[in-house]
Amino acid sequence: MITYHDVARAYEVVQPVVHKTPLLCSRTLNGLTGNEVFFKAENFQRVGAFKIRGAYYKISSLTEEERRRGIVAHSSGNHAQGVALAAKLLGVRATVVMPKTSPSIKVRATKEYGAEVRFCEDSSDAREAMAQQLQREQGYIPVPPYDDDFILAGQGTVGIEVAQDFPSIEYLLVPVGGGGLIAGTAVAIKHVIPHVKVIGVETEPANDCYQSFRKREIVRIPPPKTIADGIRTQSVGQRTFELIMKYVDDMVTVKDEQVVEMMRFFLQRMKIVVEPTGAVAPAAVYHNVLGISGKRICAIISGGNVDPTLLKSLL
């Protein structure tokens, strides 16, 4: 299991490369919810999502020989872009397996960063199978989306920044797909601010981690149909689940419609573009799923890469 010191080491490596993203707030939202709310704006991160953190740390940790062989990753989108940019910055050849239903904006960006894109069916299983095949046949080094100590430590650097910028925080809400962001972030922030409550958020259709958390064992669900394309994973990982059970205080869910409403508020009131997955944790605050008031809350906006067609349909 990774510790705070792994995350701190990751931060030394990624800090010169990633943006320290701002914490944004809205008086209107504070008024509506009766809490003091900040959003960690990873939609302003390089590649438009937090994924560059883990990907850069993982690839920079490879040996010279491994780097020469090239890397392979599978992702519905943001991990793909993170890997593609990180590989480019570090001079490593990258191949990325993406489900054919990935938002075209994410596919295009991945290609623009110089990675080769290979398409597969839209399920965690299909992605993993194709990535493993490329690994065997081409000798590529895998850069997993979440269940890897370097990836986890890299994503956890979000938690270090939140702790720095919001030391009076009481609640941290984090979206959960494979669990990399919440596991890494929880490890980091609980070390610095032990009394903070870390809450995972999923959409109802993609509630595998919610179920796993309640059952205390990993539950695997069929490929979920949810607007939040970044959390269409079928289960969390072994490493992430252990950390979640140790450091996360609770799991909650929001409806897809609540995510859409949150996205609209971001666009029209706060003037920022947030992708569906990025609006999942904020939606839990906006709709006060926790039923709390007078609290100091941070919700992580995990990314901002929305397909223009989807954005259009919201307006």
**Least distance from C-beta 295 to its own copies, angstroms?**
23
**Least distance from C-beta 304 to its own copies, angstroms?**
4
Q: What is the DSSP letter of 196?
A: P
| CA–CA dist 267, 312 (Å, integer) | 11
Q: Exactly one of 60, 76, 235, 302 is catalytic; which is it?
A: 76
Residue 67 CB-density burial (10 A; 0-12 exposed, 13-18 middle, 19+ buried): middle
Spell out the alpha helix ranges (H) of 34-123: 51-60, 64-69, 78-89, 104-112
Q: Which two tokens stand for residue 98?
A: 């993406």
Rounded to a whole number of angstroms, the distance between the first and last alpha carbons of the chain is 44
Q: Which is nearer to its own copies, 238 or 309 (CB)?
A: 309
CA geometry: angle at 49 spanning 43 and 54, to 5°? Answer: 145
Q: Which is nearer to its own copies, 32 or 272 (CB)?
A: 272
**Least distance from C-beta 171 to its own copies, angstroms?**
24
Q: Exactly one of 40, 51, 58, 190 is catalytic; which is it?
A: 51
Evaluate the CA torsion angle 117, 123, 124, 126 in order and state its sign: negative
Q: Which two tokens stand for residue 32?
A: 């509506």
Q: Are 251 and 160 in contact (CB under 8 A)?
A: no
Q: Which is nearer to its own copies, 44 or 56 (CB)?
A: 44
The structure tokens 């701190």 sit at 8
Q: Which is nearer to its own copies, 44 or 146 (CB)?
A: 44
**Least distance from C-beta 31 to its own copies, angstroms?**
13
**Least distance from C-beta 56 to its own copies, angstroms?**
15
| CA–CA dist 282, 158 (Å, integer) | 16
Q: Which is nearer to its own copies, 138 or 268 (CB)?
A: 268
Q: Which is nearer to its own copies, 25 or 117 (CB)?
A: 25
Largest CA-CA distance found in the chain, in angstroms, rounded: 57
Residues at the interface with its own copies (CB under 8 A): 22, 24, 27, 43-44, 46, 48, 105, 267-268, 270-274, 304, 308-309, 311-312, 315
> For this structure, is 61 an active site residue?
no
Q: Are 30 and 39 in contact (CB under 8 A)?
A: no
**Least distance from C-beta 46 to its own copies, angstroms?**
8
Q: What is the DSSP letter of 139?
A: -
Parallel/antiparallel/unpaired status of strands 171-175 and 296-301: parallel
Q: Which two tokens stand for residue 297?
A: 């809350």
> For this structure, is 76 an active site residue?
yes
Q: Which is nearer to its own copies, 251 or 306 (CB)?
A: 306
| CA–CA dist 134, 193 (Å, integer) | 42
Known catalytic residues?
Answer: 51, 76
